[in-house]
Structure 1
């Protein structure tokens, strides 16, 4: 059985595609409001020294995402 990778598992310099969003309604809505939707490409720019937050480029702008939010973004 293979496990679905999440944004939290991505390494600096990776370009990934969002395959699915999970989480409670308000969390999922917040992620979508930031422009992260199924099929969107994300470029992992930086990760803070302690791993939180993760900085990504999405739709031409930089976005910082907490690890707790990144766990709800499934990637391929």
Structure 2
């Protein structure tokens, strides 16, 4: 099943299929390991849903929903 990262719940994981963002944000996320084929797991979601903490390549990273909505995930 393909969905966007912001739709995953705490404890769910998947593989990055694509990233639809542009510009500096896209470059920054790619440098942090948000590339096609990378495994990603949702560790925590703030009580109001923003931001969310994900684990990718051994690192914990916080993302806002506006960033997460651009990352397509194949749920595993």
Same fold, judged at TM 0.5 (above): yes
Matched residue, 1:46: 44
Q: Which runs of 4+ in 1 moved over 3 A?
A: none
Aligned residues: 73
Considering fraction of residues, name the structure with more strand: 2
- Residue 38 of structure 1: CA displacement? 0.5
Describe the SS at the equivalent of 2:33: coil
Asked whether the equivalents of residues 31 and 69 of structure 1 are also in contact (C-alpha less than 8 Å), the reply is: no
Question: How far apart, CA to CA, are the structure 1 residues paired with 2:20 and 2:68?
Answer: 10
Question: How far apart, CA to CA, are the structure 2 residues paired with 1:66 and 1:58?
Answer: 15
Matched residue, 1:56: 54
Question: How far apart, CA to CA, are the structure 2 residues paired with 1:23 and 1:61?
Answer: 21
- TM-score (norm. length: structure 2): 0.88
- TM-score (norm. length: structure 1): 0.88
Describe the SS at the equivalent of 1:28: helix
- Does residue 1:37 correspond to 2:35, yes or no? yes
| Larger RCO of the pair (alpha carbons < 8 Å, separation 6+) | 2
Unaligned 5+ residue runs, structure 2?
none
